[in-house]
Amino acid sequence: MKHIIDNLSKLFDSRLRLGIMAVLMVNDKVDFNALKEYLDASDGNLASHIKALEKHDLIIVHKQFVGRKPKTSYEATPLGRQLFQKHLDGLNNLISNVKQ
């Protein structure tokens, strides 16, 4: 039982990254403003965590124009979905194994 947290990824240690991935796991694509509202995050804080997830190929960023306004949306990559599910499984395993 000494390696009980080995399946937890440090990529998801942040509450915000955990929240971003949770939202993207249940929605195909989510735009920046919706993520900001769901997670009650500031623009800068959300943007920095999105960049970290993008850097590790866990999410894809889509940029387009709707009329004359830019719109940015995000989706989880297959790798992102796989690693996040492994993290969730690790959390479930942790909870199951420490239950008294």
Residue 59 has pLDDT above 90, yes or no: yes
Q: What is the mean pLDDT of the chain?
A: 92
pLDDT given at position 62: 96
Residues 6+ apart with CB under 8 A from 40: none
C-alpha dihedral sign at 12, 25, 75, 44: negative
84 in Cβ contact with 21 (< 8 Å): yes
Q: How far apart are CA 53 and CA 76, in angstroms?
A: 9
Predicted TM-score of the model (pTM): 0.89
Helices and strands (DSSP H and E) totals, the chain = 4, 3
Query: What's domain 10-91's architecture?
Result: Orthogonal Bundle (1.10)
